[in-house]
């Protein structure tokens, strides 16, 4: 294994992201995921700064059984004019029982004078005093040199002096922070190279993403001699976020050949990125490098035709190394190869050299392109594509029920909330069924009426639940005459699927998407028509 530190600050700097709020339980859950991933250090928060972080460290000491990672507590050097031994925030760091303490310190003359409002010498003394005190108490100390790159540009000698003060007092690592995130890779590389040579200290890197270069800057720093890299899962963090640690680690391991995580742990990256997104309640970013759901999704027909020969022709790596999967998307940009590969993904082996299969592929492709012209979008509605495919592959999609008619009315009385009532007439299992359903809106009422009219014939779909409903007006210039696209996401409790309806009438589009959703639910459940 490489001796480069993988240092995660999701729970501290990641939690500084707008709208992200972690409970103590959330932090413990994320710590367990990070430990599974195999990071070396988990920065848990700033004990003493708020009761939640103090409690996190107290609970971590008893409840968290880390197998791989070491917990680090973050905090500032002592206040100007005081003594580290008597500083309540420094005391809180010790009380956290964390074996690693990461101190944030100033290395930029302007920040010392204007933010700390103290002298340059006193700032160096704050670093020396706090580092030596914590070392004397038996803790490992890392130091985050805040605004280092801006400080270096303002006064190189002082910035280097701050690094030396920390290293000579016993700090094991000095992480150079691009706190304002304004650096570019060549600048970071030049500075890191100089600091490594000039101070001989072990140098780390901590980058923010304000120029969109946090990952590239972290890579450049490692290339220039940094041996400790900080970042956050999914790139969470203040403003535009921190370096995404998952991307940095995958780049270093898979592209630069550094041995950072055991391969089976790296293969957990995709799962862990999504599991942590569930805890943070920040929607996973589909285009996230390596672990995003679109990271290995292919839409263009020409890409698919080459991928058929060899996936490497249009992929920078095998997604299995990070636990992700290749996916084919079907749309009006598809060609026959896209349909063939997507069909294979769905369990249909259509051989283009067979005349009948080739005709099916051509029919499916034509149908997809015609429908996309009318407003369908199959890359967002995989389940509807599968149903289209099954309709075209003879005899594969049975008729589960036959709709005779449906209607819906909405009633508003006085100040009461409007209520909708739908009536559905259909035939299933040899019976004609007429059912009504009520709902807080017309689609909700239609959904209830449709599912209750199928309940006797197909009890298997009783547990299906509509979990998302999206409407998009496709030609805004037409105002209320426009075509409407409805996407419905349905869950059976373990998995979910999306179906689509497109029509001039919003209720018709919704109804079509609902019928598709229930039909797909029956296909998934392996039910035979009754
Ligand atoms: C770049 C980064 O992201 S570093 C991490 C930043 N994270 C946070 O700020 C989140 C947690 N912070 C907090 O909970 C609070 O800001 C606390 C508890 C740390 C301090 O709260 P308060 O005592 O109310 O002070 P406040 O936040 O207004 O001001 C910061 C004080 O810390 C001092 N300070 C700032 N940086 C440092 C430093 N590196 N070392 C020592 N003191 C510092 C400032 O001079 C100021 O002191 P003053 O009150 O004597 O003027
Ligand atoms: C310490 C830190 O988070 C920063 O300087 O960005």
Q: From ligand 2's centre to the CA of 44, what distance in Å?
A: 14
Percent over 70 (pLDDT), the chain: 99
Query: Which is nearest to 213 in space by CA: 250, 246, 186, 251?
Result: 186
- Asked if 72 and 162 sit in the same domain, the reply is yes
Of the bound ligands, which one is closest to the alpha carbon of residue 210?
2
**pLDDT averaged over the chain?**
96
Please indicate whether residue 260, judged by its CB atom, sits closer than 6 Å to ligand 1: no
Does 212 map to a domain? Answer: yes
Query: Which is nearest to 368 in space by CA: 379, 359, 357, 358?
Result: 379
Please indicate whether residue 73, judged by its CB atom, sits closer than 6 Å to ligand 1: no
Does 457 map to a domain? Answer: yes
Query: 485-507 pLDDT, tens per residue?
Result: 999 999 999 999 999 999 999 99
Does 413 map to a domain? Answer: yes
Q: What pTM did the predictor assign?
A: 0.89
Does 384 map to a domain? Answer: no
- Asked if 196 and 332 sit in the same domain, the reply is no
Instruction: Supply the ipTM of this predicted assembly.
Output: 0.93
Query: Which is nearest to 148 in space by CA: 166, 135, 162, 134?
Result: 162
pLDDT computed for residue 327 by the predictor: 94
Of the bound ligands, which one is closest to the alpha carbon of residue 179?
2
- Asked if 141 and 73 sit in the same domain, the reply is yes
Please indicate whether residue 144, judged by its CB atom, sits closer than 6 Å to ligand 2: yes
Does 383 map to a domain? Answer: no
- Asked if 268 and 309 sit in the same domain, the reply is no
Domain end (from 226, 248, 280): 280
- Asked if 254 and 311 sit in the same domain, the reply is no
Domain count, the chain: 3
- Asked if 265 and 352 sit in the same domain, the reply is no
Q: From ligand 2's centre to the CA of 146, what distance in Å?
A: 5
User: For residue 520, is pLDDT > 80?
Assistant: yes
Please indicate whether residue 50, judged by its CB atom, sits closer than 6 Å to ligand 1: yes
- Asked if 351 and 447 sit in the same domain, the reply is no
- Asked if 89 and 114 sit in the same domain, the reply is yes
Please indicate whether residue 104, judged by its CB atom, sits closer than 6 Å to ligand 1: yes
Does 469 map to a domain? Answer: yes
Q: From ligand 1's centre to the CA of 81, what distance in Å?
A: 15
Please indicate whether residue 77, judged by its CB atom, sits closer than 6 Å to ligand 1: yes
Query: 115-164 pLDDT, tens per residue?
Result: 999 999 999 999 999 999 999 999 999 999 999 999 999 999 999 999 99
- Asked if 448 and 505 sit in the same domain, the reply is yes
Gap between the Cα atoms of 92 and 72, Å rounded: 13
Q: From ligand 2's centre to the CA of 222, what distance in Å?
A: 18
**CATH label of the domain that carries residue 498:** 3.30.160.270
Provide the domain limits for residue 455: 402-524
Does 395 map to a domain? Answer: no
pLDDT computed for residue 394 by the predictor: 74
Domain end (from 280, 310, 326): 280
Domain end (from 375, 410, 436): 375
- Asked if 276 and 301 sit in the same domain, the reply is no
Q: From ligand 1's centre to the CA of 102, what distance in Å?
A: 15
Q: Under a CB-based contact definition with an 8 Å cutoff, are residues 290 and 322 in contact?
A: yes
- Asked if 309 and 176 sit in the same domain, the reply is no
Following DSSP, what letter does each residue of 226-269 receive, concatenated? Answer: --EEEEBGGG--STT-B-BHHHHHHIIIIIS----S-HHHHTTH
Question: Which atom of ligand 1 has the smallest separation from the CA of 179?
Answer: 1
Does 412 map to a domain? Answer: yes
- Asked if 144 and 271 sit in the same domain, the reply is yes
Question: Which atom of ligand 2 has the smallest separation from the CA of 177?
Answer: 5
């Amino acid at each position: 294994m490489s001796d480069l530190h993988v240092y995660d600050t999701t729970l501290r700097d990641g939690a500084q992201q707008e709208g992200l709020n972690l409970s103590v339980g959330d932090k413990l859950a994320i710590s367990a995921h990070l430990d599974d991933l195999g990071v070396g250090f988990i920065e848990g928060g700033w004990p003493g700064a708020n009761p939640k972080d103090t409690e996190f460290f107290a609970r971590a000491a008893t409840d968290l059984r880390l197998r791989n990672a070491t917990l680090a507590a973050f905090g500032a050097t002592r206040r100007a004019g005081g003594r580290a031994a008597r500083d309540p925030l420094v005391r809180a760091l010790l009380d956290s029982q964390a074996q690693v303490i990461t101190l944030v310190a100033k290395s930029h003359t302007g920040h010392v004078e204007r933010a700390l409002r103290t002298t340059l010498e006193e700032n160096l003394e704050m670093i020396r005093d706090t580092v030596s005190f914590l070392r004397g108490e038996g803790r490992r100390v890392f130091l985050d040199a805040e605004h280092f790159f801006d400080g270096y540009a303002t006064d190189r000698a002082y910035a280097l002096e701050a690094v030396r003060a920390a290293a000579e007092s016993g700090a094991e690592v000095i992480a150079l922070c691009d706190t304002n995130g304004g650096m570019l890779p060549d600048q970071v590389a030049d500075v890191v190279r100089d600091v490594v040579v000039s101070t001989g200290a072990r140098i780390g890197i901590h980058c923010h993403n304000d120029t969109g270069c946090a990952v590239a800057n972290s890579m450049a720093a490692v290339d220039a001699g940094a041996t400790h890299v900080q970042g956050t899962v999914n790139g969470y963090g203040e403003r535009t976020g921190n370096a995404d640690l998952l991307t940095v680690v995958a780049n270093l391991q898979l592209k630069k050949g550094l041995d950072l995580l055991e391969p089976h742990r790296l293969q957990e990256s995709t799962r862990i990125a999504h599991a942590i997104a569930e805890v943070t309640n920040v929607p996973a970013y589909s285009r996230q490098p390596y672990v995003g759901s679109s990271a290995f999704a292919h839409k263009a027909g020409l890409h698919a035709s080459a991928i058929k020969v060899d996936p490497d022709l249009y992929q920078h790596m095998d997604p299995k190394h990070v636990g992700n999967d290749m996916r084919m998307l079907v749309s009006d940009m598809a060609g026959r190869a896209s349909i063939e590969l997507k069909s294979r993904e769905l369990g249909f082996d259509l051989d283009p050299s067979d005349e009948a299969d080739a005709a099916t592929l051509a029919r499916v492709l034509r149908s997809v392109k015609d429908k996309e012209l009318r407003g369908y979008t199959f890359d967002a509605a995989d389940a509807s594509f599968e149903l289209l495919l099954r309709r075209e592959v003879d005899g594969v999609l049975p008729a589960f029920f036959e709709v005779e008619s449906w209607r819906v009315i909405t009633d508003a009385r006085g100040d009461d909330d409007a209520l909708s009532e739908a009536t559905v007439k259909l035939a299933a299992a040899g019976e004609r069924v007429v059912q009504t359903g009520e709902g807080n809106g017309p689609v909700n009422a239609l959904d209830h009426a449709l599912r209750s009219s199928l309940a006797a014939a197909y009890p298997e779909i009783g547990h299906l639940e509509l979990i998302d409903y999206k409407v998009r007006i496709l030609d805004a210039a037409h105002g209320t005459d426009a075509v409407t696209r409805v996407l419905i996401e349905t869950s059976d409790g373990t998995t979910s699927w999306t179906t689509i309806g497109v029509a001039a009438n919003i209720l018709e589009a919704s109804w079509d998407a609902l019928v598709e959703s229930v039909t797909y639910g029956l296909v998934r459940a392996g039910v035979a028509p009754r």
